[in-house]
Amino acid sequence: MKITKPKWLKNFIIRYNNIDKSNRFFTNVGFVWTAVVLFLFVPNALIDVYVSENGNLVNATITETPSCCDCKYMYASFEIKNQEFIRRVWRSFCSDYKSGESIPFYYVECFPNNAVFKFHKGTEVKSQLFSSLLLMLFGVFIIVYFYKN
């Protein structure tokens, strides 16, 4: 049995091999860009949107506050139902909350590491998804632009 390539794939390979090297480089960059965004950013944003819309509102206990309150990236540890997870926090978190206090989260048991702060429900989570999709579309634009030229 002979396996043949579909006609669209044959045409794509022929056209791809005929474009000059600089356009081929940017086309490859577009493919890599789109793949990275599609597999790293979009799934996390989709999970966060799902958790914020379908999650139960629970109170998490702060187990550890950030060691550096003036750092660029600050992370705190939280515990929900004897399961500990780490989330990135905002700058005034150190002054607003201390270890042992409770803070509201949207939580779904099937995604225990993706609890969403109650404060971030709605616009912020959806804007992260929107920005991820825009990044992916930028990669698709690069592919189409340099492939067609």
Q: What is the CATH number of the domain that holds 69?
A: 2.30.30
For residues 45 and 13, state if they share a domain: yes
Q: How many CB atoms lie within 10 A of CB 28?
A: 14
Report yes or no on 69 lying in a domain: yes
Number of compact structural domains in the chain:
2
For residues 25 and 43, state if they share a domain: yes
For residues 133 and 60, state if they share a domain: no
Contact between 50 and 131 under an 8 Å Cβ cutoff? The reply is no
Q: Domain of 77?
A: 56-107
Question: What ranges in 19-121 are assigned the alpha helix state H?
Answer: 21-36, 42-54, 93-96
Report pLDDT digits (tens) over 41-71.
Answer: 888 888 888 888 888 899 999 999 887 877 8
Report yes or no on 112 lying in a domain: no
Q: What is the pTM of this model?
A: 0.67
pLDDT at 72: 80
pLDDT at 4: 75
For residues 96 and 132, state if they share a domain: no
The Cα 34–Cα 22 span in angstroms is 18
Contact between 142 and 26 under an 8 Å Cβ cutoff? The reply is yes
For residues 73 and 40, state if they share a domain: no
Report yes or no on 1 lying in a domain: no
For residues 50 and 60, state if they share a domain: no
pLDDT at 121: 62
The stretches in the chain having pLDDT less than 50 are none
For residues 82 and 72, state if they share a domain: yes
For residues 134 and 98, state if they share a domain: no
Report yes or no on 73 lying in a domain: yes
For residues 37 and 16, state if they share a domain: yes
Report yes or no on 70 lying in a domain: yes
